[in-house]
Amino acid sequence: GRGQIYPGYYQPKTHTPPLVDPLGAAVRSTMPNNLPVHPDVQLKRLPFYDLMSELLKPSTLMPTGTARIQEQAFVFHLTPQQANDIAFHRDISAGARTDFIIQVQMRFCLLETSCEQEDFFPPNITVKVNGKVCPLPNPIPTNRPGVEAKRPPRPVNISSLLRLSPTVANHVQVSWGAEYGRGYVIAINLVKKLTSQQLLQRLRTRGVRHADYTTGLIKEKLREDADSEIATTSLRVSLMCPLGKLRMTIPCRPTTCTHLQCFDANLYLQMNERKPTWTCPVCDKPGLFDKLVIDGYFQEVLSSGKLPPDGNEIQLHQDGTWSISASKKDEKADDAPAPVKNRGGPPAVTATVEIADDVSDGEDKDKDKDQEKTSEAKAAAPKDVVDLTFSDDSDEEMAPATAKTNGPPKTEVTSSSAPTPATPGYMSPNIITLDSPSPPSTPPPTAQQPPAQNFSSSTLPPFFDLDNDSPSTDYHAF
């Protein structure tokens, strides 16, 4: 009877279209069954942030339909304590943006459960928090054609866009480009921001690795290998930090690295605080904070009394001991003044002349004198003086004289008067004085040149003095 009284109450159920939320995404009942809503994804821990609570568990960005650009909305609430922590732990400076010590952090990563995931932004992503566009890290430009620029993998602080109230919900709308065979996850957490000094204190709290451990590594690296043709007997290690180029104060290195070289822990943490890369500056391999350890061996070296203040390099030996590097000793040796030779002039030319006392007059005596004159000419060769005030006619007159090889020594051209021979046995070359008046138009008679092998005092050429009209009959002593 009820079916007849209330005919509409017992109408058969018909299929109704899925409800659509105001953001345009289908309700979760129509999402694909092969993607979990809250996958078991573990995001890598960020050293500069302590996780306080999860506001939105890792959730899958569910694509619906076949559209390239997908949208999805997420909602989370704050407890009264969380809202108070965020509001009270913020630094509002005049003329500067608000710095939240306790902040709400949004992260994206790949949908992968096999290992911990790093931050990874979906392509063509845009985010709105409570209707306001959320600024994201700027994409890194790429020169490859057809490849979309990727954003730096880092979390996003959305604290300034939130409604700090336990009674009002916070809405997050995500738009991204769907990719076949690849899923993405979003997570929102409440975290506390740390400083590099706080991390340094935590590193110190872990303790110092004993020096014996590094000593064993040194012995192992310098152990003689019978199969090796080259034996390494020592290693040089720098005490300068590769980051700041200053001497280390807190030597550390990752336990995952095999090298002995350390770097300064304080500088390393400060650089990662500004731009987190967590890469070892020595070998460019991952150097995570959890793997850092202070090296006790190098800490003892830096505090040792036998290390000079300017000592920046040490030498490690096969028995595990160390000494000041030899390069420092070489630098001190190089600082010593080098002996100065031949000050105030060109390098000295040493000419050895051998004179026999028992040689009689004749051809033998002439040969010895020829050798002596040849040695003197070689020693005086660098001292040739050329006066550029000579005319072309003078050069032409000098050319035949210099072309002869068996004649007297080379002519020395000078603007001073002729020097007087100081030693016996020296034959002065022909000297032309430029200070005297011009010579007569008629050239003086040329003396007949005697053979080179038969020099005698009677056959020497006369000495011409341009101050007098007639040739001088004075001869230089041979």
- Count up the domains in the chain and report the number: 2
CATH label of the domain that carries residue 298: 3.30.40.10
Cα–Cα distance, 465 to 439 (Å, whole number):
10
The two beta strands, 208-209 and 156-157, are unpaired
Residue found by looking up tokens 């002596």 in the block: 372
One domain, residues 212 and 272: yes
In a domain, 54, yes or no: yes
Inside any domain, residue 313: yes
In a domain, 337, yes or no: no
**CB neighbourhood size of 463 (10 A):** 15
Q: What are the two backbone dihedrals, phi and then psi, of residue 261, each rounded to the nearest 5 degrees?
A: -60, 135
Using left for φ > 0, alpha for ψ between -120 and 50, and beta otherwise, residue 23 falls in alpha
Which among 302, 332, 299, 327 has a CA at the least distance from the CA of 315?
327
Domain span at 249 = 199-324
Q: Strand pairing partners for 90?
A: 100
Each residue's pLDDT expressed in tens, for the chain with a length of 478 residues:
444 444 444 445 544 444 444 434 433 434 455 788 999 999 999 999 999 999 999 999 999 888 899 999 999 999 999 999 999 988 776 556 778 999 999 999 999 999 999 999 999 999 999 999 999 999 988 888 877 788 999 999 999 999 999 999 999 999 999 888 889 999 999 999 999 999 999 999 999 999 999 999 999 988 865 556 676 778 899 999 999 989 999 999 999 999 999 999 999 999 999 999 999 999 999 999 999 999 999 999 999 988 888 888 999 998 999 998 865 455 555 555 544 444 444 444 444 444 344 444 444 545 454 555 555 545 445 555 545 444 444 444 444 444 444 444 444 444 444 444 444 454 544 455 455 455 555 555 555 555 544 444 444 454 445 444 444 444 444 3
286/303 same-domain check? yes
Is 252:204 a contact under the CB 8 Å cutoff?
A: no
Do 188 and 249 lie in a common domain?
A: no
- What the block records as the tokens of 219 is 């012995």
**CATH number for the domain harbouring residue 147:** 2.60.120.780
Task: State whether 57 and 189 are in the same domain.
Answer: yes
Of 194, 215, 230, the position where a domain reaches its end is 194
pTM of the complete model: 0.61
Q: Are residues 161 and 203 in the same domain?
A: no
